[in-house]
Structures are given as structure tokens and as C-alpha cells.
């Protein structure tokens, strides 16, 4: 009970049980950092997480895998953006224990567990299509995954790479994003974002990219 008091004494809710059950509270007692506890409390309330769902999110170290800049925004109650909650790294279940991972296999693993994958990207993401066909000039190109975020009202282009991030990957995804903006996006929607999921990140490639709508994240097979 003392531990419960120390964890929840600053929460201005009356009664606490109207938002969190005792089972939720017990799960949160295993978390030591107050900012992390606050994150999971808000997550539970906003997404109506069950006790099991909350424990899964804690076990997956979701808060720890947020970018430091995002954590600071949450602590200081600053406005967050659609890309802030993309986990680092992104965990992908290797349910069939593949030893050699190609882009085709990586996509297969994602599609087999699409719900959990979308949670790795943050709140509000919906699946549209894989191998989304677009025409550039006299050639067809295929977007690995096309998603939509209903919370931020924008399309998301996801490209999968089983190598280190390279400069040409930025140019490729930027081309696809611009196509979506010019041909599919409506004036009521925000600009398309790009997420490159790669085997090994390269901070300098993204650092010197002029388009802040693009981020890269390493993947981790679990």
C-alpha cells in the first residue's frame, strides 16, 4: 500500500478506480520511473487497455524504445507529431524462426502480425495495401506498405530494407511520398510521411536529409 501511495499520490483523480482498475495499478507498480508510469497510465486511459494489454506494452519496453526527444515532449507537455511514437527499434515477430531475412520475408512477417506492427508505429495507423502500385512515367513502381493515420490525417509510406540505410533509400521514399501527395492526398489531409525500416541505421544519412517527414528505424526480430 505504501508503494501504491508513492506511485499514485500525484495523480489528480477521484476516485482513481474510475480510470484504472486495481489490476492495472498492480501492473504499474513494477515500473520504477515516474515518467514511464505516467506514460502507461495515459496510454491505458486513452486506449482502454486491458490488464493483459498493459502488461504486454510494459514487457515490450515500449516507453524505453521511444526517442529521447519524444520523452522530453511528453514530460514537458509539449505538442507531439505523428512520427514521435515510432519505436526504436521496431520489434517484428519472427514466428517461423527464419534464419535468412529478405525484404520479401520481412514483409511476410509484418503482414502476419499487422496489428502489433501498427502499434510499433504509434497510435492511429491503419493498413491500406502492400506492394501498392504507382506509375512514374512509363514504369510501374511498388510501395512496400501504404498506411494511413486517422488521428493525424495523413498517408504513410513504409519502405523495408534488410541492409544498412543508404542515401538512395531516402531518394526512393521521398519520390513515393511526393507521388501520394500529388495524386492521392486531398487538401484536407496533411502531407505524407515516410518510414524506412532497415537492418542497420545510419544517423548521418537522415541527419543531412532536408525532409523532416522522413525517419528511419532499425528492426529487431523477436
Q: What is the pLDDT of residues 43-90, one digit of tens each?
A: 998 889 999 999 999 999 999 999 999 999 999 999 999 999 999 999
Residues of the chain with CATH 3.40.1350.10: 78-221
All 3 cell numbers of residue 53? 494489454
- Contact present, 161 and 172 (Cβ < 8 Å): no
Q: Is 190 in a helix, a strand, or coil?
A: coil
The beta-strand segments (E) located in the chain are: 90-92, 125-136, 139-149, 154-160, 193-198, 214-221
In this prediction, residue 126 carries a pLDDT of 97
How much is the mean pLDDT over the chain?
90
In this prediction, residue 161 carries a pLDDT of 96
- Contact present, 7 and 38 (Cβ < 8 Å): no
CATH number for domain 78-221, candidates 3.40.50.11900, 3.20.20.30, 2.40.30.10, 3.40.1350.10 = 3.40.1350.10
Phi, psi at 9, each rounded to 5°: -65, -25
- Contact present, 161 and 198 (Cβ < 8 Å): yes
For residue 16, pLDDT over 60 is answered with no
In this prediction, residue 8 carries a pLDDT of 62
Q: Within 13 Å of residue 61, how many CA atoms lie on the same side as its CB? A: 8
**Per-residue model confidence as pLDDT tens digits over 177-218:** 999 999 999 999 999 999 999 999 887 787 777 788 999 999
In this prediction, residue 7 carries a pLDDT of 63
Q: Is 21 in a helix, a strand, or coil?
A: coil
96-103: long-range contacts (C-beta < 8 A, 24 or more apart)? 101/162, 101/199, 101/221, 102/162, 103/144, 103/160, 103/161, 103/162
In this prediction, residue 15 carries a pLDDT of 47
The residue among 161, 164, 163 whose CA lies nearest residue 203 is 164
- Contact present, 191 and 154 (Cβ < 8 Å): yes
- Contact present, 195 and 170 (Cβ < 8 Å): no
pTM of the shown model: 0.87
% of the chain exceeding 90 in pLDDT? 72
Amino acid at each position: 500500500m505504501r508503494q501504491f501511495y508513492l506511485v499514485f499520490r500525484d495523480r489528480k483523480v477521484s476516485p482513481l478506480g474510475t480510470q484504472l482498475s486495481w489490476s492495472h495499478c498492480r501492473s504499474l507498480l513494477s515500473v520504477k520511473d515516474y515518467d514511464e508510469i505516467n506514460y502507461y497510465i495515459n496510454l491505458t486511459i486513452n486506449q482502454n487497455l486491458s490488464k493483459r494489454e498493459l502488461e504486454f506494452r510494459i514487457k515490450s519496453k515500449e516507453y524505453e524504445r521511444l526517442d529521447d526527444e519524444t520523452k522530453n515532449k511528453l514530460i514537458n507537455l509539449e505538442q507531439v507529431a505523428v512520427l514521435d511514437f515510432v519505436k526504436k527499434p521496431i520489434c517484428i515477430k519472427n514466428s517461423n524462426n527464419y534464419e535468412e531475412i529478405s525484404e520479401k520475408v520481412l514483409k511476410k512477417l509484418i503482414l502476419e502480425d499487422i496489428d502489433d506492427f501498427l502499434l510499433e508505429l504509434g497510435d492511429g495507423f491503419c493498413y491500406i495495401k502492400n506492394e501498392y502500385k504507382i506509375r512514374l512515367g512509363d514504369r510501374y513502381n511498388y510501395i512496400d506498405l501504404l498506411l494511413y493515420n486517422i488521428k493525424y490525417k495523413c498517408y504513410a509510406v513504409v519502405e523495408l530494407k534488410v541492409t544498412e540505410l543508404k542515401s538512395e533509400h531516402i531518394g526512393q521514399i521521398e519520390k513515393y511520398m511526393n507521388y501520394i501527395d500529388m495524386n492521392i492526398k486531398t487538401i484536407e489531409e496533411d502531407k505524407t510521411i515516410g518510414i524506412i525500416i532497415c537492418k542497420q541505421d545510419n544517423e548521418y544519412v537522415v541527419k543531412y536529409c532536408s525532409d523532416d517527414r522522413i525517419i528511419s528505424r532499425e528492426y529487431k526480430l523477436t
